[in-house]
Structure 1
Amino acid sequence: MPLSLPRRTAAQIALRVRRAGGDVFTARRLILALKTAVAAAVAWFFAPLVPFADADYSYYAPLGVLVSMYPTVADSARAGIQSLIGLACGIAVGFGGLAIVASGAPGIVAVGVVVLAGVAVGGIRALGMGRDWVALAGLFVLLLSKNDPDGFSSSYLATMAFGVLVGVVANYVLVPPLYLQSARDRLSELRAAVVTALDRAADAVAKGEPDRGALVEDGEALAELSIAVSADVDEASRSERANIRARGVGGVHDENAHRWWGLERATYLARDMLDVLGQQDCLDERHGDPELLAAAMRSVAEQLATPPGDPETTARTDAAWRAIDEYAASLPAADEAADEHDQPGLWLAATLGRMTDVSRRVSAALV
């Protein structure tokens, strides 16, 4: 397949922009920010009405919203509950610090003990998001409770719990996030990146002089993008839970699952291929005919670039197998190799075949 410069440039620019800016200007982030702002304002306004809480501590309600507002409803509920458990543990640690002060010990000793115990208890992995709140809550109780530790602690926990509740409800009611389409787009981005990397490598192979620096750079970019896409696909799956907008989207979920299964393997194989090619300053007889290898790589790239359900899928898959067979025929026979354990050409042909088969299986599953 001829090298497509616009496609390569677009993929590189998109990756660089994502690295630099993250999700700051994406619609999903702006919607989350708006929902958080609304929920925080509502929580602060109604916090004085929370039972068992002093109205003077209403400012903890917006904080409860912040600790519970996550991109998915399920994550919001989990983070909120974990944070409240962490706060409860921290309050207990804070009361221990107050007991130390009451016994006549210097305040500096109590602060040290509370921080020590809070950080140690925060090592409990089951606390999840609440781990960081243990030491903080302990210090708040020790330093801010003044002469009413019971009132402060109950107000602190009750007001935070109210804020968490408001945050979870707001995330559920106000445009509950559903990231299946976003994950689909990210999978297409990863597919384009794999195809571009194969195209670039094919150009270098055709010249017989692989550019190690470029191959390493492309391999690292694929690894980074693959990790990011994996997180996005997982987040999309979590966004379906307890989401009223998730009804009737099972087809998109299944499509994403199949595509990620194939792209995860194709990315790994492509990175391995780039690594093998980059280990040589130039290709020799062990690698077979460079032109045929380049042609096979481009044909496999074209097959990978074919979206699910495309009518050309079968024809391009057959073309990829033919190109691989032609390249394999140019390789030296196994009994003619100087070192039977050093036959990179056979490995390259097998890897191209594996990529083609993975893509074929994904296409078949999505028909």
Structure 2
Amino acid sequence: MKCTTWATGFVRCRGARPVQAVRRAWREPGRERDLVMQAAKATFAACLAWAVAGWWLQAPVAFVAPWVAVVLVESTVYRSLAHGLQQVAAIAAGTVVATLVALALGSSMIAMALVLPAVLLLAQWHRLGNQGIYAATGALFVLTDGQVTLATSGARIAEAAFGAVVGLTVNALIRPPVYLRDARAALRDAAHEAQEVLHTVADGLANGEWDSQAAGSGHERALRLERLVDQARSAIAWSRESMRGNHRGHGAGSIAGPGKEYDDALGVLDQAAVHVAGVTRTLLESAGRDGTPAHTDPQITGLYADFLRHTGQAIGLYGRTRLAGTGFEHTADSALREEADELRRSLAELDRCLPATVRDDPESLATHGALLAQARGLADQLVRHHASV
């Protein structure tokens, strides 16, 4: 009975996800709608290629055209073009080699034993990219088709080229994909996580609950933040690629690709991730191996917690001002400037209090000195960039 209940709940949970994805695709722009559009475009490209090659022209190997067309409705227009050229070149190479060897030997089986190792090695050529495997596919189409003729092989190459043209044209002209939204969302996720990690560390320090377990958990979140920043960097590169050869980036109502504000935001978040990891690593190393709290002075800890809260708030506001969908949010802009002033104030207070507080405690001086160095680096990044917002 328990197994049945668990299985039913599992099926309902898993089954609800596709339904939710369909609802999101219908209700609002997003990744789900992009995937649906790409699937529809690939279907249309395949049908168009087959209608021309198979139904109208009745080509002898018409199936090659829709097969290549559906594969080349890629995630970006630039990738469709690059992969289309590579794929046609690979298919042509495999087809030509297999045809010539089969005609020379008069045996498809012997030809296959000789041709496949050669074309599989050819597939590793860097100029063919990840499309090199289609050299082997093209060779197999020739060698397993029964009678090998120059006319059939020539038609197969022509159909592949036609399918590539159809797939590229459909992807380029019908709502070519743009991934600017993904880049903005990735940056906002990284900024939000940085803010949350800093607030968590600040709360732990202020409450005196920063033992080795809490330090380890905080450091894991800091490392996750570094991964989120890497994902944001990849998303920005992906977004810029999606604008290459994309007509939606030109003319009236055009969509602008990621500009300098994205690079600036990425730089701030990258530095924030490094400094947050440094802070949590310092606290982790200073925490006792037996689970005792880190050796910190309450007076300095309170000031440092205050600094971290202001830093987290500033990073969150920076994400809002830099990554607003339509212009800056002026309320957040003003608040960011205020937080930058608070950062300067809290950092100056740390500089003033630290020497007198931990002068006679070398261990505490080492811990707090490392934290202060992290604070200065992080504050420098935010104060330097907030003026350009």
The range that moved more, 322-331 or 135-144, is 322-331
Whole-angstrom distance in 2 between the partners of 1:58 and 1:117: 27
CA distance 1:292–1:78, change in 2 (3 Å): same
* Deviation for aligned residue 1:191: 0.8
Gaps of 5+ in 1: 1-16
Out of 49, 62, 69, the position equivalent to 1:65 is: 69
* Deviation for aligned residue 1:233: 1.0
* Deviation for aligned residue 1:344: 4.2
CA distance 1:259–1:115, change in 2 (3 Å): same
* Deviation for aligned residue 1:316: 0.4
Whole-angstrom distance in 1 between the partners of 2:147 and 2:199: 71
Q: Is it true that 1:221 corresponds to 2:232 in the alignment?
A: no
Counterpart of 1:291 in structure 2: which amino acid? G
* Corresponding residue of 2:241: 238
Q: Do the aligned partners of 1:61 and 1:163 also contact (CA within 8 Å) in 2? A: yes
Whole-angstrom distance in 2 between the partners of 1:138 and 1:219: 50
Higher-RCO chain (CA-CA 8 Å, sequence separation at least 6): 1
Whole-angstrom distance in 2 between the partners of 1:278 and 1:99: 71
Counterpart of 1:290 in structure 2: which amino acid? T
Gaps of 5+ in 2: 1-16, 288-292, 322-327
Counterpart of 1:80 in structure 2: which amino acid? G
* Corresponding residue of 1:276: 282
* Corresponding residue of 2:324: none
Q: Do the aligned partners of 1:61 and 1:160 also contact (CA within 8 Å) in 2? A: yes
Work out the percentage of aligned pairs sharing the same amino acid.
23
CA distance 1:159–1:147, change in 2 (3 Å): same
* Corresponding residue of 2:171: 171
Q: Is it true that 1:260 corresponds to 2:262 in the alignment?
A: no
* Corresponding residue of 2:9: none
CA distance 1:226–1:153, change in 2 (3 Å): farther
Q: Is it true that 1:120 corresponds to 2:134 in the alignment?
A: no
Q: Do the aligned partners of 2:73 and 2:171 also contact (CA within 8 Å) in 1? A: yes
TM-score (norm 1): 0.80
Counterpart of 1:318 in structure 2: which amino acid? D
Counterpart of 1:264 in structure 2: which amino acid? D
CA distance 1:148–1:275, change in 2 (3 Å): same
* Deviation for aligned residue 1:177: 1.7
Q: Do the aligned partners of 1:87 and 1:130 also contact (CA within 8 Å) in 2? A: no
Whole-angstrom distance in 2 between the partners of 1:189 and 1:302: 14
CA distance 1:314–1:290, change in 2 (3 Å): same
Say what the alpha-carbon RMSD is for the aligned residues.
Answer: 3.2
CA distance 1:328–1:285, change in 2 (3 Å): farther
CA distance 1:190–1:120, change in 2 (3 Å): same
* Corresponding residue of 2:45: 39
CA distance 1:159–1:69, change in 2 (3 Å): same
Out of 318, 342, 349, the position equivalent to 1:319 is: 342
Q: Count how many residue pairs are aligned between Structure 1 and Structure 2.
A: 339
Within 5 Å, give how 1:181-196 maps onto structure 2: 181-196=181-196
Whole-angstrom distance in 2 between the partners of 1:215 and 1:29: 36
* Deviation for aligned residue 1:175: 1.0
TM-score (norm 2): 0.76
Q: Do the aligned partners of 1:115 and 1:135 also contact (CA within 8 Å) in 2? A: yes
* Corresponding residue of 2:198: 198
Counterpart of 2:244 in structure 1: which amino acid? R
* Deviation for aligned residue 1:110: 3.9
- 1:80-102, Cα deviation, whole Å (9 max, x unpaired): 11111222222244246526743
Counterpart of 2:73 in structure 1: which amino acid? M
* Deviation for aligned residue 1:339: 8.0
Whole-angstrom distance in 1 between the partners of 2:240 and 2:298: 42
* Corresponding residue of 1:3: none
* Deviation for aligned residue 1:299: 1.1
Q: Do the aligned partners of 1:93 and 1:114 also contact (CA within 8 Å) in 2? A: yes
